[in-house]
Amino acid sequence: MSKPSMSMKVLYGEQNEQVLATQAESLQNAGFSVQTAIGRKAIQQALNQGQFDLVILGPTLSRDDRHHLPYMVKKASATARVLVMHTDGSRHPYVDGNIDTGEDMEHLVKKIAALQQPKTMAAGAGK
């Protein structure tokens, strides 16, 4: 498994504080620099105050938040990537990656590492 980039700035948002604390700690232990936000308003505020390479929208956010926040992320930064957890296979035009319900932290770390690859390589891979 490839080592995550320590320079990658990650914003991780959840609605539930306990889930956020546990998951954020796991991501930090995996080598990511993580800023956390609880709820939609806090995520929006963080987006307005800083630049992030990756925004992770966690499973305890409402389905509505997981649908609308990707638009807000891309509006704040066209280069930020968005990863949505708990998607049950659904796809969204502003989402760069997703994790379906039931996936473990190791799968999430692998997905993040794949998103660290340059966009041009990922786009050319399907040709």
Q: Which domains does the chain have, with CATH numbers?
A: 9-124 (3.40.50.2300)
pLDDT in the model for residue 1: 42
pLDDT digits (tens, 9 = 90+) for 30-44: 889 999 999 999 999
pLDDT in the model for residue 102: 74
pLDDT in the model for residue 101: 72
Q: Which residues of the chain have pLDDT under 70?
A: 1-6, 87-90, 118-127
Complete DSSP assignment for 26-80: HHHHTT-EEEEEESHHHHHHHHHH---SEEEE-TTS-HHHHHHHHHHHHHH-TT-
pTM for the full predicted model: 0.84
Contact call for residues 56 and 83 (beta carbons, < 8 A): yes
pLDDT in the model for residue 37: 98
